[in-house]
């Protein structure tokens, strides 16, 4: 590419007025199971921003719901799962995922690929720690107490749970790749709650199996979590081709923590978009400059677009990334 590519986590969705218009009267999870809505919402940001990829509109709990887990996304709260998964017997509810469980995903991706022409579509799945946390806690959690109690205290159950979640995630991503996704991002959003030794023993084997199962697909595999400064090297070792970085660590320092041969993605603080254009421009140029030390850099925010973000600022930012990085 003649410039640094750019896309935004959560570019589709809550920050766009046209998103709220098509969602009117439709719950979040219902909108993730209707091919027409998935397609429309995925395409909406591409009509505004000259971004270099679309990201499938979905949610990390979609495959859980598809296999029959009782999960709902409560507005202002997040995913709520009832009953939670806390004992070996509870694992039975986590059966394998088949393509027939998510026909809407296949259908939407096929429609999107036809529409997008050459522009890549990034597939989407939640990572094992984050899925485990929602299942074990039964909902969002600040400190993931019960989840970590299982991880520390009952490694056998923990690995059985993460093994099932890895199976589910592999199937969900393979279905997306078969339908035409040309890259995937594994969002292990909350894995930064774990230290590096625990990541290596309790999580990496499962993440590694997920990325390994996608090896033959020969597509870029992106891995992202929040607050993962100490884990970036391990997230690369797990098999990601592109390691996502939040804003807490300067991108050039992140480069030093990841083994050679990996690209980095990030890492403008989404809250910077709430300031004036002068501030946004200065910060974005700084990220681009630090990103030049990486073997490859995909410009992105350090986490999802915030709800109050002005879409015009994101449009201008995508253009800035292209012009400022043009070679």
Question: Cα-flanking dihedrals φ and ψ of residue 316, to 5°?
Answer: -65, -35
State the Cα angle at 270 between 267 and 274, rounded to 5°.
140
Structure tokens at 170: 């592999």
Residues 4-43 that bind its own copies (CB under 8 A): none
Structure tokens at 75: 């507005």
The window from 4-12, 180-188, 210-218, 243-251 that contacts its own copies (CB under 8 A) reads 243-251
Q: Pattern 251-290, binding to its own copies, x per CB under 8 A?
A: --x---------------xxxx-xxx--x---x-------
> Number of residues in contact with its own copies, rule: CB under 8 A?
34
Q: Is 59 a catalytic residue?
A: yes
Taking the least distance from each CB to its own copies, the nearer of 83 and 307 is: 307
List the one residue out of 182, 13, 172, 11 whose CA is nearest residue 105.
172
312 binds its own copies (CB under 8 A): no
> Distances in Å between the alpha carbon of 166 and those of 7, 35, 170, 274?
26, 25, 6, 37
Instruction: Look at the block and give the residue holding tokens 């094992």.
Output: 128
248 binds its own copies (CB under 8 A): yes
- Give CA 281 to chain center in angstroms: 25
Taking the least distance from each CB to its own copies, the nearer of 188 and 269 is: 269
Over its C-alpha atoms, the chain yields an Rg (Å, rounded) of 19
Q: Which of 14, 200, 283, 316 is catalytic?
A: 14
Q: Which of 213, 285, 306, 324 binds its own copies (CB under 8 A)?
A: 306
149 binds its own copies (CB under 8 A): yes
196 binds its own copies (CB under 8 A): yes
Q: How many CB atoms lie within 10 A of CB 172?
A: 27
Question: Cα-flanking dihedrals φ and ψ of residue 130, to 5°?
Answer: -65, -45
303 binds its own copies (CB under 8 A): yes
Instruction: Name the residues that contact its own copies, by CB under 8 A.
Output: 143-146, 148-149, 152-153, 192-197, 227, 229-230, 247-250, 253, 269-272, 274-276, 279, 283, 303, 306, 308
Q: Which of the residues are catalytic?
A: 10, 14, 23, 59, 134
């Amino acid at each position: 590419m003649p410039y640094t590519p750019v896309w935004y986590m959560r570019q589709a969705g809550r920050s766009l007025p046209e998103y709220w218009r098509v969602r009117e009267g439709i719950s979040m999870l219902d909108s993730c199971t209707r091919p027409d809505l998935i397609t429309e919402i995925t395409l909406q940001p591409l009509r505004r921003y000259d971004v270099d990829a679309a990201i499938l509109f979905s949610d990390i709990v979609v495959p859980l719901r598809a296999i029959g887990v009782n999960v709902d996304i409560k507005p202002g709260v997040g995913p709520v799962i009832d009953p939670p998964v806390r004992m070996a017997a509870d694992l039975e509810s986590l059966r394998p995922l088949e393509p027939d469980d998510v026909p809407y995903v296949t259908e939407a991706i096929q429609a999107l690929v036809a529409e997008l022409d050459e522009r890549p579509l990034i597939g989407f799945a939640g990572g094992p720690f984050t899925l485990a946390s929602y299942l074990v806690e039964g909902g969002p959690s600040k400190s993931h107490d019960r989840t970590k109690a299982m991880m520390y205290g009952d490694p056998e159950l923990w690995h059985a749970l993460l093994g099932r979640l890895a199976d589910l995630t592999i199937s969900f991503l393979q279905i997306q790749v078969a339908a035409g996704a040309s890259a995937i991002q594994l969002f292990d959003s909350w894995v930064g709650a774990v230290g590096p030794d625990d990541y290596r023993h309790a999580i990496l084997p499962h993440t590694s199996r997920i990325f390994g199962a996608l090896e033959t697909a020969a597509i870029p595999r992106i891995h992202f979590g929040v607050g993962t400064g100490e884990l970036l090297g391990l997230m690369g070792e797990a098999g990601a081709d592109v390691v996502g970085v939040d804003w807490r660590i300067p991108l050039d320092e992140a480069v030093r923590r990841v083994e050679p041969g990996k690209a980095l993605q990030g890492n403008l603080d989404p809250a910077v978009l709430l300031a004036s254009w002068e501030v946004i421009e200065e910060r974005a140029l700084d990220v681009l400059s630090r990103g030049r030390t990486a073997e490859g850099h995909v410009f992105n925010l350090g986490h999802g677009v915030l709800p109050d973000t002005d879409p015009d600022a994101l449009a201008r930012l995508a253009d800035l990334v292209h012009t400022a990085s043009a070679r």
